[in-house]
Structure 1
């Protein structure tokens, strides 16, 4: 099984009536801005361990690195059962997490997938708080039309009922090896040793003796509000920090949306960011920070620590 090279510490921070679980590496007294790592949907903060282990010694030694578990993921669980989650809550959660860890000082922000989308929106809302931003495959969503709203709200209400009936429950596994196999089925590039380690962070043994994914099944319920591209572009345009957008060479966006939303459209949207550059990671899929952690770590390090 994979053995982490750098020891993580975990702590709990009270944020908006939630006990937020945060994984940290490095020295609180580090001289450079904190590096905040935001995980994606159905993932956990521990997912960044492979990238943290790949950072150079000088870079790692100069920073405190933080990786929260988003609400409803990992060990940040609501005190009472929840039947849906609202995207805007992640923005407010991040705002107060940065209050706690950085005060008024700007941070360097890295987000993957959903975490990348949160990072892009947040950087437009609070531009002074972000020094550099790295977005790993946070593509946003296909454009919608106002006339889709009635159907979307109906779908949301129907899925809440399905959730109440237990129809959206996540699969459980008889042992931790089953969890590791699930991780490798989703991402065949993930080495077996890393899957075995990550399985113990991504799932936990339940009272029924089965391993359950550390993600609330209510996250499967559709967002009732449409994705409004004009609002997203306004937020992109308000970003003050330099942005590095990183994607894999496998076009995961095209695989998901099958022509409804393309990489060309995403790059057109990026044109609204005033200071942006792009990079491609070869031989990687959507989980590029698992597939090529050394390459991703070097991209982050070069961009964040490089000259203005």
Structure 2
């Protein structure tokens, strides 16, 4: 296959490492911090599972007006340290975000955007610390199927069994092979964007010469803690900020969860959030920030810059 020519960013980012709860956290920044003010606070972007903060580059490039944007790599992803654990706990993402905001935007509200897992973290955090969020953007952070207590024994058993098995992620011969994998996963992803993402999604292992994914394999293990829908909704109900919900027209949640989490249940959950503006992008799938960054940027800017509280 002809090698992909990498995308060239219009607004290059800078990298920063900050201490967060005993870990060296990697944070990507775009724009001058001096651009931030009460009406246009820092925009903090939270990536999803098996992704990295650099994933938002195309959206940042599509913003019409310069803005101070910050995107961390979650613990165990990208260039942020892994905690050396065999299991990842969702509450740690909330605590990491809280500590990051204390450093990056002390004493001031921010605009918060999250994709997928990052959207789930953002929604919970906005209900737990409503005073810290001016406006909230959720990109396909649907949440998870609800669980019942009787599922606990089998979940714990599965977790214990998985602890006995080393977890691994596939490696690749070259960045081109990584880019081709990204394109197979998402047919809407442009080859140049895939080539650029591959350089941030993986790195060369000096010992083997292979390109390895920048994600701790322990992320693949099931979490023994059941998803408690009622607790999540209690947090969602307390979100004080206006919420922008954006999804892709090709996203099919039934492919992920079958009948365990029907679309009607998600609609009922989202109805508890006090103020929600909704949009669908087309053509776009779950990685809508890769598929339609220009259209998404327009929606984000219109929402963040609209008058009101």
TM-score range, shorter chain: over 0.9
Write out aligned runs for 1:86-105 (5 A).
86-105=89-108
1:300 alignment counterpart: 300
8 A Cα contact 1:251 1:263, kept in partner: no
1:27 alignment counterpart: 32
8 A Cα contact 1:23 1:46, kept in partner: yes
Write out aligned runs for 1:162-181 (5 A).
162-163=165-166, 168-181=167-180
Which deviates further from its counterpart, 7-16 or 275-284? 275-284
What do the CA deviations read for 1:247-295 (whole angstroms, capped 9, x no partner)? 1111331221122212221111011111112111111000000000001
Write out aligned runs for 1:96-245 (5 A).
96-163=99-166, 168-207=167-206, 208-245=208-245
Equivalent position SS for 1:162: coil
CA–CA separation in structure 1 for the residues paired with 2:164 and 2:107: 43
Paired positions, count:
299
Alpha-carbon offset, residue 28 of structure 1 = 1.2
Equivalent position SS for 1:92: helix
8 A Cα contact 1:144 1:226, kept in partner: yes
8 A Cα contact 1:8 1:25, kept in partner: yes
TM-score by length of 1: 0.95
- Structure 1, unpaired ranges of 5+: none
Stretches (4+) displaced over 4 A: none
Which deviates further from its counterpart, 262-271 or 45-54? 262-271
1:5 alignment counterpart: 10
Alpha-carbon offset, residue 77 of structure 1 = 1.6
Alpha-carbon offset, residue 299 of structure 1 = 1.0
CA–CA separation in structure 2 for the residues paired with 1:116 and 1:278: 14
CA–CA separation in structure 2 for the residues paired with 1:161 and 1:187: 32
Equivalent position SS for 2:279: strand
1:14 alignment counterpart: 19
Alpha-carbon offset, residue 25 of structure 1 = 0.4
Equivalent position SS for 2:259: coil
- Structure 2, unpaired ranges of 5+: 1-5
TM-score by length of 2: 0.95
What do the CA deviations read for 1:160-191 (whole angstroms, capped 9, x no partner)? 1112xxxx200000111110011111111101
